[in-house]
Chain A
């Protein structure tokens, strides 16, 4: 049976890994290649690289780093950030990325999902959505969680899947950085709405949060986190062993 995936997320700016709390107040953590190798060696099932650089120069630097990572580690790589055109897909896929996640680029132009899925295959396209409750309704936020688009999140995600996205990363802005567990309510709503893999993001603070995630929501395929891994608060081998002990299928 397919195992549940544990995915560290590396936010990269100007060639370095950074992580913000609630998407603000970024702090430098480590070298992307060194960190990627470390995670691969300790059993991460996949890595997400998120390019938060704005400049063209930074983008080139990111692509170079991605190539270095893909020469060093041999597990699936998902790349996001600054993906606005099919050419952007091409740029990162050539560097060894396996999947590309779209967020603001798809909000501006949903057709991007369809075009990219047609050209590179559905399995290549991941929709990443930053979602926050506003007056009791799940709303999609753009620009790294700063701008309320006004769109209702569940119907937006379903629409993206219909267009060809084959995986959903759900980032709950409400739980992100709080380290008090994943947003189970929001995740359950997404799992009910789509039949493609769903990756939970935002809120992991302890091993137990992952156990609760996978035991409560068997339809969730993967758990993603950043700072708790980068700062060693959760060690991936311990996490995976603990999940396996709880009967969650794991690659050990």
Chain B
């Protein structure tokens, strides 16, 4: 069973529906025991980093997610959920993340040429940086759907794909059993569904 962590941030209807579509057994939950008993974990998120990180901390689910990930349970963070995997974010101040992947989250404005619209919103091509089990059903150059104004930086070791927006932006990361997608696989058509399918099929040892 896949647990989608429900900590009161954003709308999980499409993510749940996309998991149903690929035939995954899925539960949307804030129950620590259910998350512990799940085979794998999806950490979603939209909105502001500080607000989301606080909500996750208040529920105590941050500790559960970190514990389970460190036990080797496959974890996929999506959009803001991916940004929270990092050590810290500089979105309106400096805020601590879950620290599961080395690196930090900074405004994309600090990286891209002036004149490009922010947020980076729309369909953009994935450029693979090495192989990843997450990409076993898709190919280099496939397009996925992005909506973000901040991106993970100083995390080169973990980057498995970038998207070109005047400069390469971190699109997906992996460190062992911990994965993150800056884009929205649940809004990326069949390519997105195939990424979720690959995550669901990733072997779990926890």
Contacts and interface: CB of A to CB of B under 8 A. Distances in A.
B145 A76 contact: yes
Contact of A70 (B17, B46, B123, B192): B17
A71 B15 CA distance: 10
A3 B143 contact: yes
What class of interface size applies to chain A in its complex with B? 20 to 34
Nearest to A67: B13
Contacts of B192: 74
A5 B186 CA distance: 18
Contacts, number: 72
Given A3-B122, A3-B123, A251-B123, A94 B13 contact: yes
Interface residues of B, number: 29
B95 interface: no
Given A75-B189, A251-B123, A70 B14 contact: yes
B140 interface: no
B82 to A, nearest CB: 17
Contacts of B21: 71-72, 74
Does more than half of chain B's interface fall in helix, strand or loop, or is it mixed? mixed
Interface stretch (B66-74, B113-121, B150-158, B173-181): B113-121
A196 B117 contact: yes
A166 to B, nearest CB: 8
B188 A74 contact: yes
Contacts of B122: 2-3, 5, 45, 197, 221
Given A2-B124, A123-B121, A197-B121, A74 B186 contact: yes
A51 to B, nearest CB: 18
A106 interface: no
A121 interface: yes
B120 A70 contact: no
Interface of B: 11, 13-14, 17-18, 20-21, 46-47, 117, 119-125, 143, 145, 147, 164-165, 186-190, 192-193
Interface of A: 1-3, 5, 40, 45, 67, 70-72, 74-76, 93-96, 98, 121-123, 166, 195-197, 221, 251
